[in-house]
DNA sequence: TCGAATTTGTGCGTATGTATC
DNA sequence: GGATACATACGCACAAATTCG
C-alpha cells in the first residue's frame, strides 16, 4: 500500500488544504463529510478522520458535532505598531501606521502590590520577594478586548512617589516613559521579546477566543541607563492582530 | 462505558502529564510503552496511542519510532535578535545578545523565478504576475532546523545583475543589505510584522514538530528610499524561540 | 412533536511497516 | 537477525448533536 510516499492522511489533508487556500472551499462552507471523503479519496474512515484532525489542528476548519466540518473565517490581522521610530522623509509607504491601532481604545486596570516572583525579579534585576507594583490591564477597541497586559514596577523605584500607581494621580494613564520622567528617571531603551503559545482558558475568555487559539506574548522591558524600570507581559490574540516593528537599517 | 466523565484518553494523558510536570517523569526519560500503558491503565491500544498524541501535541513528549516516547527538555526559549540596534555604552544588560543565535548555523537554499502572487505583489509594490526571484531557506543550528524563510525580490530590480541569485556569485549568502548595495540600492528601512499561527503540517515536518504546534511568522520587508526591495516570510517554532527587538526610546 | 437520517466525536481491536536497539 | 516500539492504516461500534421531513 504505502511505499516511500506521504502518509495517506497527509495527502488527503494537503488536497483539502489546497482547496481552502485557493478559495474553492471558501470560509463558512462545509467540508465533505467523513463518509464522502472516504469515498472520494478511496481511503478508510480513520484516514478521513485523521486528515480532518490535521486541518483542525492547523486552525483552518472547525468541526461542529452533528452538523459538519466548516472552513473558518480568517480575518486579515490588524497591525499593532510597537516601535516609536518614524521615518524622516515626507512621502513614505508607512503612512498607514498613523491610522493603525495604537491602543486608542478604552482600557481598564487594577493595581496591587506583590512580591516579585523569580522570573519577574530576574527581568527587573531585583531579588525574588522584593516588593513590586503589579498592574493588570484590559485594552479594548470598539468594545472588543484586543490586548491583555500585566506590568511590574519595582517599588524601590516608585514607592512613595506620585507615580507609584500607574493609573492614579495627574500622570495616570500617561505611559511609563512620561511617568518615570516625572520622578527624574529617563527611560532610554526598551526590549521586546515576542513569543507565542496556545492561549490559556482564562485569557481566551476575556479575549473572546476558543480554547486552542494562539496568542502572541510580548515581554517588554523598559530601561533607564541600563537599569530595568518596568517589565510587562502583553497578550494579544494572534488570529486578529500582528505586532509591527519599523526600524532603520544601519 | 462512558457516562459524562472524561474520555479515557484524556484521563490517561492527564495522569501522565501530572507525572511529567511534577518531575516523577523527568526530561529524557521514556514514557511507558503503548503496551505498558494499555496494561497499567486497563485501556485499549488506541486509547494509549491517543493519550500519547495529546502529550505530543502539547509538546511535552516526542515519539521516536522504534525506540520509545521520551519526555522533552523544555528549553527556555532562545532569543533570535531581529534588530540591528546596539546601545552605545559599554556595560549594559544586553551583552548576551551578542552570543545569542543570530543565524550562525548552517543553511540550505534554493531559488527559482516565479510570478508574484497577489499578496507578494502588494508587499513589494509591484503588479501581480510580475516576475520575482523566490528563494526558500532552511536554517539549522547544531543540525536542528530552527527557521524557515521564503523571500521574494522583484526581478525588475535584480534581474541581469550579479546579485540576481541570493546565494550565488561573490556576494552569495551575504544578506540583502550588502547585496543590494552592490547594485547601488541603499537599503535604509525594514519593517517586521510578527504574527503567530498553528504550523502547517509540511512546515512542522521540517522544523521537527507535530501538527498543531505554534509557529511565529515574521513578515519582513526591506526598503530603499521608501521602495520595497525584498520581502520574506520567516517561520520559527514558538516553543523553542522568541524574536527579540531592542529599540531606543525617543 | 416526533423520529429518522446524517455527521462528528470517541473508542476498540487488529494488522502491517519501519526505525531502533 | 530478532525483539521492541512507534507510525500508519483499516474496519467497526456507539454516543451525542444536528438537521429535516
Domains of chain B: 8-71 (1.10.10.10), 78-245 (3.40.1410.10)
Instruction: Give residue B206's pLDDT.
Output: 82
Which nucleotide has the shortest C1'-to-CA distance from B5? C10
Q: Which residues of B touch A241 (CB under 8 A)?
A: 195
Per residue in B53-78, pLDDT tens?
888 877 788 888 888 889 988 777 78
Give the span between the Cα atoms of B122 and B219, in whole angstroms: 13
Model confidence at A97, in pLDDT bands (50, 70, 90)? Answer: very low
A196 reaches B (C-beta below 8 A): yes
A36 CA, D21 C1': separation in Å?
A: 23
- List, chain by chain, residues whose CB lies under 7 Å from nucleic acid strand D: A 1-2, 7-10, 43-47, 50, 64-67; B 2-4, 31, 33-35, 46, 49, 52, 63-69
**Contact (CB, 8 A) for B189 and B195:** no
**Residue that the C-alpha cell 517523569 belongs to:** B25
Model confidence at B2, in pLDDT bands (50, 70, 90)? Answer: very low
Considering only residues A30 and B5, tell me which one the structure prediction assigns the higher pLDDT.
A30
Distance of CA A85 to the CA centre of its chain: 21
| Exposure b/e, B163-188, CB count within 10 A at least 16 = b | bbbbeeeebeeeebbebbbeeebebb
Closest residue by Cα to residue B138 from B203, B222, B68: B203
> Which segment of A97-111, A116-130, A141-155 scores lowest on mean pLDDT?
A97-111
- Residue A216, pLDDT above cutoff 60: yes
- Residue B100, pLDDT above cutoff 70: no
How big is the CA angle at A81 (ends A230 and A207), to the nearest 5 degrees?
A: 75
Closest residue by Cα to residue A81 from A104, A55, A111, A56: A104
Which nucleotide has the shortest C1'-to-CA distance from A34? C7
Q: Which residues of A touch B233 (CB under 8 A)?
A: none
| Exposure b/e, A51-78, CB count within 10 A at least 16 = b | bbbbbbbbbbbeeeeeeebbbbeeeebe
Dihedral of the alpha carbons of B158, B163, B168, B172, in degrees to the nearest 10: -130
> Which segment of A50-59, A239-248, B90-99 scores lowest on mean pLDDT?
B90-99
> Which segment of A14-23, A49-58, B65-74, B91-100 scores lowest on mean pLDDT?
B91-100
Distance of CA B196 to the CA centre of its chain: 10
Interface of A with B in 199-228 (CB under 8 A): 214-216, 219, 222-223, 226, 228
Residue in B191, B198, B249 closest to A58 by CB: B198
Q: Which residues of A touch B89 (CB under 8 A)?
A: 226
Collapsing DSSP states into helix, strand and coil, what is residue B216?
strand
Q: Which residues of A touch B199 (CB under 8 A)?
A: 58
Instruction: Give residue B224's pLDDT.
Output: 94
A36 CA, D13 C1': separation in Å?
A: 19
Residue range B127-152: average pLDDT? 90
Instruction: Give residue A217's pLDDT.
Output: 95
Q: What secondary structure letter does DSSP report for B206?
A: H
Q: Which nucleotides of D are covered by protein (CB under 7 A)?
A: 3-13, 15-19
- Residue A91, pLDDT above cutoff 60: no
Instruction: Give residue B25's pLDDT.
Output: 87
B97 CA, D5 C1': separation in Å?
A: 42
Give the span between the Cα atoms of A69 and A63, in whole angstroms: 4
Give every strand in the sheet of B241-248, ordered side by side: A106-115, A131-141, A144-154, A227-237, A214-224, A189-198, B241-248, B78-81
- Residue A207, pLDDT above cutoff 70: yes
Which residue's alpha carbon is at the shortest distance from the C1' of D19? A67
CA atoms within 13 A on the CB side of A149: 24
Per residue in B171-195, pLDDT tens?
666 778 888 988 999 999 899 999 9
**Residue that the C-alpha cell 496511542 belongs to:** B49
B5 CA, C1 C1': separation in Å?
A: 31
- CA distance to partner chain A, nearest, from residue B121 (Å): 14
Give the span between the Cα atoms of A23 and A20, in whole angstroms: 5
Q: Which nucleotides of C are covered by protein (CB under 7 A)?
A: 6-15, 17-21
Q: Which helix (H) or strand (E) holds B130?
A: none
Give the span between the Cα atoms of B99 and B91, in whole angstroms: 15
> Choosing among A54, A195, A230, which should be mutated to test the B contact, i.e. which has the most B CBs within 10 A?
A195
Question: What values do phi and psi take at A193, rounded to 5?
Answer: -115, 120
Considering only residues A44 and A201, tell me which one the structure prediction assigns the higher pLDDT.
A44
Instruction: Give residue A232's pLDDT.
Output: 95
- Residue B115, pLDDT above cutoff 70: yes
C-alpha cell at A191: 526590549
Percent share of chain B, pLDDT over 90: 29
Residue in A54, A242, A247 closest to B201 by CB: A54
| CB atoms inside a 10 Å sphere around CB B82 | 23
Which nucleotide has the shortest C1'-to-CA distance from B46? C12
A156 CA, D14 C1': separation in Å?
A: 63
Residue range B7-15: average pLDDT? 80
Instruction: Give residue B105's pLDDT.
Output: 73
Residue range B116-137: average pLDDT? 95
- Residue B98, pLDDT above cutoff 60: no
Dihedral of the alpha carbons of B65, B136, B244, A196, in degrees to the nearest 10: -50
A58 to B201: CB separation less than 8 angstroms, yes or no:
yes
Could you tell me the pTM of the whole model? Answer: 0.81
- Residue B198, pLDDT above cutoff 50: yes
A1 CA, C16 C1': separation in Å?
A: 10
**Contact (CB, 8 A) for A199 and A213:** yes
Report in angstroms the alpha-carbon separations of A108 from A43, A100, A137, A141, A163. Answer: 53, 21, 6, 12, 17
B195 to A59: CB separation less than 8 angstroms, yes or no:
no
A188 to B250: CB separation less than 8 angstroms, yes or no:
yes
Closest residue by Cα to residue B30 from B2, B71, B90, B72: B71
Amino acid at each position: 500500500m504505502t511505499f516511500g510516499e506521504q502518509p495517506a492522511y497527509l495527502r488527503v489533508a494537503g488536497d483539502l488544504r489546497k482547496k481552502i487556500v485557493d478559495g474553492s472551499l471558501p470560509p463558512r462552507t462545509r467540508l465533505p463529510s467523513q463518509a464522502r471523503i472516504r469515498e472520494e479519496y478511496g481511503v478508510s474512515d480513520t484516514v478521513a478522520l485523521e486528515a480532518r484532525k490535521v486541518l483542525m489542528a492547523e486552525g483552518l476548519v472547525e468541526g461542529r458535532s452533528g452538523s459538519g466540518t466548516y472552513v473558518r473565517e480568517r480575518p486579515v490581522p490588524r497591525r499593532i505598531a510597537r516601535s516609536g521610530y518614524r521615518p524622516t522623509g515626507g512621502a513614505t509607504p508607512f503612512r498607514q501606521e498613523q491610522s493603525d491601532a495604537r491602543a486608542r481604545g478604552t482600557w481598564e486596570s487594577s493595581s496591587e502590590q506583590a512580591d516579585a516572583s523569580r522570573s519577574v525579579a530576574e527581568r527587573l534585576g531585583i531579588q525574588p520577594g522584593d516588593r513590586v507594583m503589579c498592574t493588570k490591564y484590559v485594552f479594548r477597541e470598539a468594545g472588543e478586548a484586543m490586548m491583555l497586559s500585566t506590568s511590574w514596577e519595582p517599588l524601590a523605584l516608585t514607592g512613595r512617589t506620585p507615580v507609584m500607581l500607574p493609573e492614579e494621580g495627574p500622570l495616570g494613564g500617561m505611559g511609563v516613559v512620561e511617568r518615570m520622567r516625572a520622578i527624574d528617571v529617563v527611560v532610554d531603551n526598551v526590549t521586546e521579546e515576542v513569543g507565542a503559545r496556545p492561549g490559556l482558558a482564562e485569557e481566551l475568555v476575556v479575549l473572546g477566543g476558543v480554547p486552542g487559539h494562539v496568542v502572541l506574548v510580548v515581554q517588554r522591558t523598559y530601561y533607564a541607563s541600563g537599569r530595568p524600570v518596568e517589565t510587562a507581559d502583553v497578550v494579544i490574540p494572534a488570529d486578529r492582530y500582528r505586532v509591527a516593528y519599523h526600524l532603520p537599517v544601519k
